Amino acid sequence: MAGDRLRVICGPTAAGKSHLALELCEIYNGAIVSADSRQVYCGFDVGTAKPTREECVRVTHYGIDVVEPEERYSAARWATEADEWIENAGEIEKDPVIVGGTGLYIKALVEPLFSAPDQDPAQRAGLERELATKSVDELRRWCEELDPARAHLGRTQLLRAIETAVLSGSRISDLHSRDKATKSAEGNGQKAAYLVVDPGSALGSRIETRVDKMLRAGWADEVRELMRTVPPDAPAWKASGYAVMRRHVEGVLDLSSATQRVIIETRQYAKRQRTWIRHQLPAAAVTNVNPDDSRALTVAREWWERAE
């Protein structure tokens, strides 16, 4: 990598991150390291907007088709492998740039995650089954007793906090505090320069256009084929929109209803991404760009060059 800071292009889904990243990488001989928790799964292509073969020929990509659909893939594992991909890019004399909207992946790379205690797989599976029936309000009440500092978070984080407290006897909030102090003393983590791509109010129409494009590209056919070989409980099915498309393929939802549900889910996901960006990224390290602005590429190029 040419500069001292890691380049990160992030933003809500369908904002135009990939297109801008491709342009920059062609100009500056860069390589894209995907920070997308959905694109890591083999076979889940259309509904995750994976780069096309032509785009992968234009620009080197890492982090695509990393694991089989049945495998669990964590942010910590991605961060470890992303470090290797960054080194690989340097070995072929390309500048790496992290591109994606999975905030936890980005944070795991820039601010390494705490070291979670080992948990017995059988005990964890049993607890997961029990907690799956609980509402968010019930989970929040549990968390208020077990790890109050995390009781305000969403369902996924509440589940993780409860599991860790029950199975290991340790609070995630305490583990975070200890690890943060240790890593601060050791100087771990990477300095980053962020380019946040967001079209503002136009995002809604962009999402609708993307969903329509996915459907015309054969998303339903892809899901039908995947259902032949991928178990229904495989982690890859959690990718946004895929559960809805399965219901459509099974005949439970008509195409119009499925389309609207996918659009709503995607908008909700984009809202969560925007919230994460607003609260988690250091303002001084962020450059904002509207991809629909005539100066978008100029702003992006200036950002790239400042990171050197």
Full residue range of the structural domain in which residue 173 is found: 121-186
Does residue 170 fall inside a structural domain? yes
**Mean pLDDT in runs of 10 for the chain (308 residues)?**
77 97 98 97 98 97 97 91 95 97 92 64 86 92 90 86 87 70 48 96 98 98 98 94 97 97 96 94 96 98 94
Q: Are 7 and 192 in contact (CB under 8 A)?
A: yes
Q: Which amino acid is at 149?
A: A
Q: What is the pLDDT of residue 180?
A: 52
Q: What is the pLDDT of residue 114?
A: 56
Can you read off the two tokens belonging to residue 113? 């995650």
Can you read off the two tokens belonging to residue 205? 């129409």
Q: What is the pLDDT of residue 187?
A: 42
Same domain, 175 and 201: no
Q: At what angle do helices 219-229 and 242-249 cross, to 10 degrees?
A: 90
User: Which one, of 48, 68, 64, lies nearest residue 56 by Cα?
Assistant: 64
Does the pTM surpass 0.85? The reply is no
Can you read off the two tokens belonging to residue 215? 């459907």
Could you tell me where the beta strands, DSSP code E, fall in 166-220?
A: 192-197
Q: Are 270 and 207 in contact (CB under 8 A)?
A: yes
CATH number at residue 17: 3.40.50.300
Does residue 1 fall inside a structural domain? no
Cα–Cα distance measured from residue 169 to residue 146, given in angstroms and rounded to the nearest whole number: 9
Cα–Cα distance measured from residue 237 to residue 231, given in angstroms and rounded to the nearest whole number: 9
